[in-house]
Amino acid sequence: MHIAIIMDGNGRWANRQGLPRSEGHRAGAVRVREITEECVRKKIEYLTLYCLSSENWKRPKEELDFLMVLLKTHIINERSTLIDHNVILSAIGQRSGLPEDVLAEVDKSIEMTQNNTGLHLCLAINYGSRTEIVDAVQNIVREKIPAEEIDENCLSEHLYTAKMPDPDLLIRTAGELRLSNYLLWQLSYSEIWVTETCWPDFDKALFNKALDDFAKRQRRFGGL
């Protein structure tokens, strides 16, 4: 099973607590560990988390700088946990624009976990789905693949997620009813589950409620 999550509402959570937005992001990072460990416990195969969209660069520089420090710190601090839980780490998105020290730590964790065999945790960092699709088309053109050989499988094989199955379930926190340029191709037939709860309050009990609701749905993929 592949679960994709849009971890929304960190800033709103902080505002409601009378805290700076940075504290919302810090609390959200802690929640990532709980949900990841729950996925390990339930033997989920893939978990993809929307950490930073390509549109998030429009936010204030102070907030972006904090997010980069938080990402780097979290990657370093959770490295031993990933190894202990047999988690494979990967990342999708544009590398350009991300600080070199952050990229170095992400790459180090990816390298250290590549021989693990458990949950595949994919971080979408500086990610935008439209850019991903454009990149895929450009690579197809560069490879001079004949037009008659270009089909859905061909395009899928050129996406950042080429080695991953499409998500079965998309979870979005904080109540927003949109995809926000996230995995647009891959989510074509995914089930969607939305909660008003902001990400820092999204605990494993609510995560399991999403899984229970998903289990009750009938996926027809356009059929009867």
Rounded distance between C-alpha atoms, residue 86 and residue 129, angstroms:
28
Catalytic residues: 8, 56
- Rounded Cα distance between 72 and 158, Å, is 28
DSSP string, 124-184: EEEE-HHHHHHHHHHHHHHTT--GGG-SHHHHHTTSTTTTSPPPSEEEE-TT--S-TTSST
10 Å CB burial of residue 46 (0-12, 13-18, 19+) is: buried
Phi, psi of 93 (to 5 degrees): 130, 180
Angle at 213 between CA 88 and CA 210, to 5 degrees: 45
